[in-house]
Amino acid sequence: MTATILVVDDETRSIDTLRRVLEREGYTVRVARNGVEALADIAECMPDLVLLDVTMPEMDGFEVCQRLREKEETQLLPVAMLTGLNDDESRVKGLEKGADDFINKPFERTVLLARIRSLLRVRRLTDQLENTERVIFALAATVEARDPYTEGHLRRLAEYSYALALAHGCDQQQSRLIRYGGMLHDIGKIGIREAVLQKQGPLTPEEYNEMKRHPEIGAYIVNPMRFAGAVGPMILHHHERWDGKGYPAQLVGAAIPLGARIIAVVDSFDAMTTDRPYRKGMSEQDSLAILREGRDQQWQGHLIDLFIQLVEHGELPRIDLQTATRGE
């Protein structure tokens, strides 16, 4: 399939040169003559690559690049900045705004095409990773589907984790990663026998040891994901305890990854307040009382305090299962 390249430049001569070179190589070329037009074009139809001039009226290339990186759907869109500026300060600023590469004017054809091919190769690899991630999220939904009594659990965990991360002071990017961790925290249960997962009575020691393997299985499953380095430890350690009596590594206190600490709190709350075949769900107030009792023992006290505030102030998201999706 032919790659589509959006050229953003206010100079007709530069546009004509790029169009001629790129179309000769078989690329589809779209043109925007300013930053506002470029953002509108991208919102309407996502290109595979953006060639973005630095110096333009109204909105320069730096601002366009920054706006693209602020939106989740365009965070990974390859952007090469076109510049006649040779100073290091401009290049540093462009990289800080999220540019992937710089291409100097006037263009040297061989260098231009080599850099474009390189950026498009990265784009293809990114798309492959996104396909892998879709499969992994589907696997997580499959785990939930094995137990009708936990319908909506993963979606609730994702949104509760996100809310608690923001309350803790995490930025948007870290909060989104913790949200993914909440969605995927139990994906390792796909490797646990149905008889163990569905058992209504107490587990035998052997069955309990099998169940305790699910965090390690889950961390292995998400390893191909782009954000595995951040999310994998959350999945691996979401059953650790603040006092070091958890599993699999018996980590203590702040040695437990923050995302895992957050997921542990909201996972426990959701488990307590949800109906099971063998018991009715507890009230929110009774569940919060148990969380208070476990402050600085099972869970980090500060996170418990923040979570209780979210619940009591009505700031915990209420999940509509009819519209629940992957968690995007």
How far from the centroid of its chain's Cα atoms is residue 205's Cα? 36
Tokens of 264: 């542990």
Neighbour count for residue 212 (Cβ, 10 Å): 15
Q: Tell whether omega for the bond before 47 is within 30 degrees of 0, i.e. cis.
A: no
Give CA separation, 59 vs 76, 101, 221, in Å.
Answer: 21, 19, 43
Rounded Cα distance between 243 and 224, Å, is 32
Of the candidates 71, 105, 189, 212, the residue annotated as catalytic is 189
Residues 6+ apart with CB under 8 A from 94: 54, 61, 62, 65, 81, 83, 102
Instruction: Give kind and range of the element (H or E) at residue 151.
Output: none
CB 58 within 8 A of CB 38: no
Known catalytic residue at 189:
yes
Q: Which residues are catalytic?
A: 189
